[in-house]
A = this chain, B = another copy of it.
Amino acid sequence: MIKAGIVGATGYAGGELVRILLAHKEVKIEWLYSKSYEGQVYSDIYKNMYTMADIKLVAGDLAKLSESVDVIFTATPQGYLASVINEEVLNNAKVIDLSADFRIKDVNTYEKWYGIKHQSPEFIKEAVYGLCEKNRGDIKGARLIANPGCYPTCSFLSIYPAAAEHIIDMSTVIIDAKSGTSGAGRGAKTANLFCEVNENMKAYGLPNHRHTPEIEEQLSYASGESVLLNFSPHLVPMNRGILVTAYATLRKKPDNTSYSEDEIRSIYEKYYKDEKFVRVLPKGVCPETRWVEGSNFTDVNILVDERTGRLIMMGALDNIVKGAAGQAVQNMNIMFGLKEEEGLEMPPVFP
């Protein structure tokens, strides 16, 4: 049994890690860490876990806690892991970080977009960006995983084949994304009260949301070009789910003819044919968040608009499963040589 510790267990992503790992046959939760709730019983806070996780929350020195586990998940605010990570921790346990601390390779970019000083830049290079479908090979041997953001995962998987195959003009990419409210976290803010969110839609963070450079970096690797794009997130009154609608101008094929929708769909199907968690939907079917809720799936599809010459790339995932805890467990499975889908085969919950 793999022994796991979760830091930030009382946030929504942390709670989802508990939900997934409780049903994971090869993992035992060794400790749950929460500074704010130290000493309280986990199921007093997340009462869904009553009788399932009646565990006392711990806090304290991570290096010491790392001695008792094989893997640590950090579902924590930006800056936390960078402030406590060290060789000792990494020698004791593999670390999967759900924050942004190690996602961006250029520390200046990180510090500029996040507005904080990086406390451990020396580990950035080593960290592997844990987008499983792309970096499976590197993940296998990693000590430190930068688990991708929810928006970047959905955006990347929606655009990846088109970018990698040079089907689209990367300078024209616009990503319009919509998210449920669990992505805003469990902090007690007026803006996230029920009556403020319910019956409302809004854009936020435009035009400089922090996930922008993460998406740009990954699409740059995929396309081999330096990518600048617009990323516009919106908040929608629902708990879970991210929906991405991305636009880009189609390039011509090498023979100077136009790509057809079927050709591009074939490319998407080829890219994802062995991927258990990416479903290329049937022709004409748009992704909807309800069809992936509670599961580790990302559903994607594309449409060609011949009138305007643009490709519309669409994706949907559950922001706290494939967009956070689920992908983190998928990374863990790869790192420990388990079946990649172990503990992640729960079907989507509908309605």
**Cross-chain contact of A347 among B49, B240, B282, B316 (Cβ < 8 A):** B49
Instruction: Judge if A147 is at the interface, Cβ distance under 8 Å.
Output: no
In the bound assembly, the distance between CA atoms of A156 and B15 in angstroms comes to 31
Number of copies of chain A assembled together? 4
Within 8 A of B (CB), among A2-26: 12, 15, 18-19, 22-23
- Which of chain B's residues has its CB closest to A216's CB? B307
Enumerate chain B residues within 8 angstroms of A290, measured Cβ to Cβ.
Answer: 48, 196, 199-200, 202
A156 to chain B, nearest CB (A): 18
Q: A181-B194, A241-B199, A291-B48 are in contact. Are A347 and B19 (CB under 8 A)?
A: yes
**Cross-chain contact of A241 among B201, B289, B314 (Cβ < 8 A):** B201
Q: A312-B232, A351-B182 are in contact. Are A295 and B48 (CB under 8 A)?
A: yes
In the bound assembly, the distance between CA atoms of A345 and B22 in angstroms comes to 9
Enumerate chain B residues within 8 angstroms of A285, measured Cβ to Cβ.
Answer: 47
Instruction: Judge if A79 is at the interface, Cβ distance under 8 Å.
Output: no
Enumerate chain B residues within 8 angstroms of A347, measured Cβ to Cβ.
Answer: 18-19, 22-23, 48-49, 52
- Which of chain B's residues has its CB closest to A314's CB? B203
Complex contact B294–A349 (CB within 8 A) = yes
- Which of chain B's residues has its CB closest to A192's CB? B193
A343 to chain B, nearest CB (A): 11
Instruction: Judge if A215 is at the interface, Cβ distance under 8 Å.
Output: no
Complex contact A196–B305 (CB within 8 A) = no
Q: What is the 8 Å Cβ interface bit string for chain A, positions 174-185, against chain B (1 contact, 0 not)? A: 101010111000
Enumerate chain B residues within 8 angstroms of A281, measured Cβ to Cβ.
Answer: 47, 50
Q: A201-B243, A237-B236 are in contact. Are A230 and B181 (CB under 8 A)?
A: no
Enumerate chain B residues within 8 angstroms of A234, measured Cβ to Cβ.
Answer: 178, 243, 245
In the bound assembly, the distance between CA atoms of A292 and B48 in angstroms comes to 6
Enumerate chain B residues within 8 angstroms of A229, measured Cβ to Cβ.
Answer: 308
- Which of chain B's residues has its CB closest to A320's CB? B351
Enumerate chain B residues within 8 angstroms of A190, measured Cβ to Cβ.
Answer: 186-188
Complex contact B287–A202 (CB within 8 A) = yes
Instruction: Judge if A164 is at the interface, Cβ distance under 8 Å.
Output: no
11 chain-A/chain-B pairs, Cβ below 8 angstroms:
A48-B293, A172-B172, A188-B190, A194-B198, A198-B198, A199-B240, A199-B290, A201-B241, A201-B243, A203-B245, A239-B351
9 nearest interchain CB pairs? A48-B348, A195-B351, A207-B305, A200-B290, A176-B176, A202-B288, A194-B197, A47-B291, A48-B291
